[in-house]
Structures are given as C-alpha cells and as structure tokens.
Amino acid sequence: MYIPVIGIETHVQLKTETKIFCGCANRYGNAPNTLVCPVCLGLPGTLPVLNEYAVELAVKTASALGCTISNKSVFARKNYFYPDLPKGYQISQYDEPMAKDGWLRLSGHRTEKKIRISRIHLEEDAGKMLHPEGNIEISESRIDLNRCGVPLVEIVTEPDIGSPQEAYEYLSRLRQILLYIGVSDCSMEEGSLRCDANISMKIKGSDLMGQRTELKNLNSFKFVKKALEFEINRQSELLSNGEKVIPETLAWDETLSGIVKLRSKETSEDYRYFPEPDLIQLTLKDQDIKRIRSELPELPDQKRERFISDYGIPENNAAALTSTIELAEYFEEAASHCTDNKKLSDWILSEILNILRENRVSIKEFRISPEKTAGLVELIGSGRISGRIAKDLFREMVRSGNSAEKILSDSGLELISDPVDLEKIIEDVLGSSPEEVLSYKNGNVKIIGFLIGKAMKETNGKADPVLLNKIMKEKLDNCT
C-alpha cells in the first residue's frame, strides 16, 4: 500500500511600495516595461540596494509561521539563463536563509495536524514572457520586465503533507495567515501567490522515500489538488506495475486535465549559487525581530479561541467567522451592538454569506453595516418579528440600505404582539370554525395547528407565533 509524501514550495509577492532592489513601483497590471529602471533591467554598472520594508514583511511572514529568524543571513546569486532574467542570475538566499523551522496548522480546528516549514527566504521575482501560443495579438515572444525585482518570499514545507486534500488545506491556511498579516494580496490570478509541489510515494510504515517528481504551473488551489491526485494515481500505477518513477519536472495542463513533462531532473540545471558580492550580509537585530513579532495582528488560531471564550459561540462558528480578518472584524463590530452572539454568528454565516455569494461582493463591500445587522438580530430576539419575516426584512435591507427598524415601521411588517389585538383575531377565527373547535374539545388537540395557521393567514404572518399559540390554547381550553 503506497501513500503519498508531498512537500510544497510557495512563492509569495510582498506588498511593498517599491521593488526589492530599486525604487520602481511594485504594481500589477501596468503597461509592459513601464515600471523599470537601470537597476531592475540589470544594465551594466547597476547595483542592488535592499528594500528594508521587504525585509520587514518577510520577517513578519516568518514570525507568523513560527519560524526561527536568523540574525544573519546571506543573499546568493542563482545563476541561469532565461530571457525574463535580465542579469542572468536571480538574487535569492541559499545556504543561509532568513528563517527556518516554522509550522502551520491545517484548517481552522484545534485538533488538526501541523505541517512543518523548513525555510523561508527572501528573493527577487523575474519578468514575464508572453508567447504567441495562446496569444493571438502577438506574432513573436515578448518580455515584460515590470515584475523583475518584485520582492518574494519563498516558503518551503517539509514533506509532511499526506494527501491532496491536506495540500489544499495547507495552502488555504497559508493564504489565510498571509492575508491576516497583510504581507501580500495572495492573488493566484495576478501571480502574487504561486506554488509548486514535490511528490513521491512510499510504502506505508516504511521510512524509505520514493523517487519524487516536481509539479509546476499549479495556478489554483483546485489545480493543486487535481494535479496531485493525478500524479498519485500515475506514480501508484507505475510502482504497482513494478516500474520506476523517473525524477522529472512536470506541469499541470488544465485543458488536458493531465500533466506534461517539462524537463527531466538528470539534466536539471546547476545554479552555481555563490554569495551575492554586491550586497552585505542581512543583519537582523533581536530587538527588531521582537518588535515585528509584537506588532503582528491576532492570528486566525488565536482569534478563533478568543471568539469561543469571549463570545461563547461554537467552535465551528468561530472557525468560520475567523476565516478572513474582514469577516471576523464584521462579527466583532456587530457583536458590540448585539446581545445574542450565537444568533448573530448564525445569521452572518448563513444569511450574509449567502447574499455575498449571490451578489459576488466581499464583506468589505457589503452595504449593511455591522450595527444594522446587529439591530436585525436584536429584533428577532425580541420577538417582534418572526424568522420568516426577518429574511424578507433582510432582503429589503440589502436592497435599500435602510435599517431593520426603519423598514419595519414603514412597512408594518412588525409582529402583532399585543394580546388584545391577537385575542380579537383569535375570537374571529374560532367563531368561523365551529367544527374544528368541537373536534378539539373531543380530544383532537392537534387541530390547534390548523387554527393557528388560519390566524396567521389572517395577519399575513405577522402574529407573534409564541403569543398566538399561548392565547389560542387558553381560548380553546376556556371556552365551553
């Protein structure tokens, strides 16, 4: 029985104002080759100058992932030829990376397994190639160097990931944390988060690792899962047929729903790493590392625990609410105006998330303020409106942007909860249903449902159901 052994490398673009080694703007989507200067073009005579803010964001990342951060690390040149690499080498880190030995807990639950992170290092991004294949506007390959020198952190896991699902969860969690600490946009579409996976198979219970392949071009978390599933099947089949897995670099091809071979590892390049002589050693003082660590925002795990203890909500709700910092903030703001946190959390996780999905907007763009949502939940709790009406009211809030109170008073959707009003309605219903009343008297107590339904209909569903039920029962039991 073979089981997969998976490790993931993630490249994350850091959200700095300027590039890592020059003053050019770090921005996505500009016209090609407009965010460039002699330094990032690698023109003769130019030298890199390290962007300290990029270092700060990298330290933040490493801290959030529980890494040990080195006081001293060294930049190195990774030498290879490619048209999108103007200097003929990438400035990266090699044998002395900035951070080591971190970890990440899978999914939002306390019990889930930890994935160890072996290293995090800082490096520069390369440019982008545009090829005529799949691009009808151009007849030859072109190079856009805007991306050259955008700061990256590379986050490398130990081979701790045991399944495509775990890979998916690891990446989702990683993205969640990176978004929490605000170091990156983590947009796979814009390429600010990119990942490769290494995969091999081993016999269950054995320490012997199999030959591994590398999967590239994993442009979404879904593709990561699909590609890994495909590759696990492929490797398993090979092995159970007594064949060997060849170490090679593969790419996921979504249109083929399969993998294509990029290059074999035997002919893989020798990057001839050596210390970058144009930069001095990167020195981080303990006090700076401490400061950056202390400035970290509350991370998802901590926030989830706090939500459970401070708001008394179930773990599942807490985990879901803390999935993004924006949603968590929305909840907390609403909770400060609300007395029933459980109901509030349910409402946000069902009704609000539904409507966000329907309208394809984010919680940040959602037009109902947390305070108004709290007002609605309060109204439900007070018994002034029914759950059904609450949903209608909510739709109306989304449409108009008005508060629940305002819509309620304008529309008369409020529950009839005055016993005198209700008594009158009930008397009318009972008066017009002598047969049902008789049936009740003869012991068919279930018939009360029919009578309540009739009263509800009379009130267009606005009768306070609890009160209606109570008075109806009293009336029936007392009338002789």
Partner 1 sequence: MLDILASLNQIQSRKRSLESLVADTINGIRSGDEFNIFLDIYEDNSLAKAVEIDIKIEQGTAGKLAGCIIAVKDNICVSGQKLTCGSKALEKYITPYSATVIKKLEDEDAIVIGKTNMDEFAMGSSNEHSYFGPVRNPDAPDRVPGGSSGGSAAAVAGNFVPVSLGSDTGGSIRQPAAFCGICGMKPSYGRVSRYGLTAFASSFDQIGPMARTVDDISLILEVISGYDPADSTSIRADVPEYSAEIMNEQKDMTIGIPKEFFNEELDSEIRNAIESKIEQLASDGTRIEEISLPHITCSAAVYYILGNAEASSNLARYDGIRYGCCAENAEELEAVYSKSRAEGFGEEVKRRIILGTYVLSAGYYEEYYGKAQMVRKMIAEELNDTFNKVDFIISPVTPTPPFRLGEKTDEPLNMYLNDIFTIPANLAGLPALSVPCGTTSGRLPVGLQIMGRYCDDLSVLKLGKLIERYNK
Nearer to partner 1, 75 or 440 (CB): 75
Q: At what angle do helices 465-478 and 448-458 cross, to 10 degrees?
A: 130
* Smallest separation, CB 157 to partner 1 (Å): 24
* Smallest separation, CB 126 to partner 1 (Å): 13
Residues 6+ apart with CB under 8 A from 453: none
Nearer to partner 1, 68 or 141 (CB): 141
Q: At what angle do helices 465-478 and 434-441 cross, to 10 degrees?
A: 70
* Smallest separation, CB 43 to partner 1 (Å): 7
* 31 in Cβ contact with 222 (< 8 Å): no
* 12 in Cβ contact with 186 (< 8 Å): yes
Nearer to partner 1, 83 or 314 (CB): 83
* 36 in Cβ contact with 86 (< 8 Å): no
d(CA 97, CA 55): 12
* Smallest separation, CB 96 to partner 1 (Å): 14
* Smallest separation, CB 210 to partner 1 (Å): 23
In a 3-state reduction of DSSP, which class is residue 141?
A: coil
Q: Which two tokens stand for residue 270?
A: 């020798």
Structure letter (DSSP) for residue 349: I
Strands 248-253 and 213-218, by their bridges, are: parallel
d(CA 161, CA 147): 31
In order, the DSSP letters of 353-414 are HHHHHHHT--GGG-SS-HHHHHHHHHHHHHTSS-HHHHHHHHHHHHHH---HHHHHHHHT-S
Nearer to partner 1, 86 or 102 (CB): 86
In the beta sheet, which residues pair with residue 264?
A: 248
Give CA separation, 401 vs 185, 278, 368, 394, 398, in Å.
29, 57, 6, 10, 5
Nearer to partner 1, 79 or 236 (CB): 79
Nearer to partner 1, 52 or 253 (CB): 52
Nearer to partner 1, 278 or 365 (CB): 278
* Smallest separation, CB 75 to partner 1 (Å): 10
* Smallest separation, CB 77 to partner 1 (Å): 5
Amino acid at 318: A
d(CA 435, CA 430): 9
First to last CA, the chain: 77
* Smallest separation, CB 273 to partner 1 (Å): 8
* Smallest separation, CB 82 to partner 1 (Å): 8
> Could you list the residues that contact partner 1 (CB under 8 A)?
38, 41-50, 77, 79, 81, 83, 86-89, 143, 270, 272-274, 277-280
* Smallest separation, CB 72 to partner 1 (Å): 15
* 243 in Cβ contact with 41 (< 8 Å): no
Nearer to partner 1, 162 or 247 (CB): 247
* Smallest separation, CB 139 to partner 1 (Å): 16
Nearer to partner 1, 39 or 348 (CB): 39
Nearer to partner 1, 103 or 273 (CB): 273
Nearer to partner 1, 277 or 412 (CB): 277
Residue 421 CB-density burial (10 A; 0-12 exposed, 13-18 middle, 19+ buried):
middle
In the beta sheet, which residues pair with residue 77?
A: 91, 274
